[in-house]
Amino acid sequence: MQEDERFREQLFSKGSGRLLYEVLDDLFDYCFPILDKIAYKLDSIEDDIEDRRSEEIVTDISKVKQEIISYRKIIKPQRPALRLLERHIERFLPEELELYFDDLVDASERIWDLLDNYKEVVEALESTNESVISHRQNDVLRILTVFSVILLPLTLISGIFGMNVNFPGEATRVAFWAIVGLMVAVIVGMIGFFKYKRWL
C-alpha cells in the first residue's frame, strides 16, 4: 500500500472491514506454503525410514513435531475468534462482507485439519521409527547374546584344562587337539541348536 497509491485508495474506500479481511486473507494464504513445506519434510522422513536411516532422523522428527506444535498454538486461538466474528459480523462490519469472512473461517478450518493430519502422521512416523530402532537393537542384542552363550562353555572347558592338576594325556599334542576338537564340536553343536530354534 505504501508503494501503490491506487491500491491504497481502493482498499480504504471499501471500509475498515474490507481492509481487515484483506489483511487476514493474506495472512492465511501465507500459511499454506508453510504447510506444504511441513508435508514435504514428512514425506522425506518417511522415505528415510524406508531407507533404514532410523537413527539419523530422530532429530528431524523432533524438529517437525515442534513445528507442528508451534503452528497449532498459533492457529488454535484464531479459530474461535473468527467464528465469533462471523456470527456477530453485522454488529461490526457491513453485511456483504459475511461471505468473505466465511472464506476466512473455511481457510482456518482447512489449516487446522491439515495440522491435525500432520500431527497424526508425525506421531505415526515417530512410532514406526522407534519400532525400527528397537527391532535393530533387538537383533544386535540377540547376536551378542548368542556369542556370549557360545563363549561360556568354551571358557569353562579352557578353565578346567588350564588348572594345575594332572589329567590323562597332559602336555601331549593329542590332548591339545582333543581339547580344540571338543571346543569346535561345542561351537558347531550350539550354532546348530540355535539355527534349529530359529534364534539365528
Q: What pTM value is reported for the model?
A: 0.69
Domain 5-135, classified CATH 3.40.1790.10, yes or no:
no
Count the neighbouring beta carbons within 10 Å of the beta carbon of residue 177: 10
- Confidence check: pLDDT of 60 > 70: yes
**Using 50, 70 and 90 to split pLDDT, how confident is the model at 191?**
confident
Question: Could you tell me the residue ranges of all domains in the chain?
Answer: 5-135
d(CA 26, CA 24): 5
CA 129-43-51 angle, 5° bins: 50
CA count, 13 A, side-chain hemisphere, 162: 7
Q: Tell me what the mean pLDDT of segment 64-71 comes to.
A: 92
- Confidence check: pLDDT of 90 > 70: no
**Using 50, 70 and 90 to split pLDDT, how confident is the model at 67?**
very high
d(CA 183, CA 192): 14
Using a pLDDT cut of 90, give the percent of the chain over it: 20
Residue with cell 594345575: 164
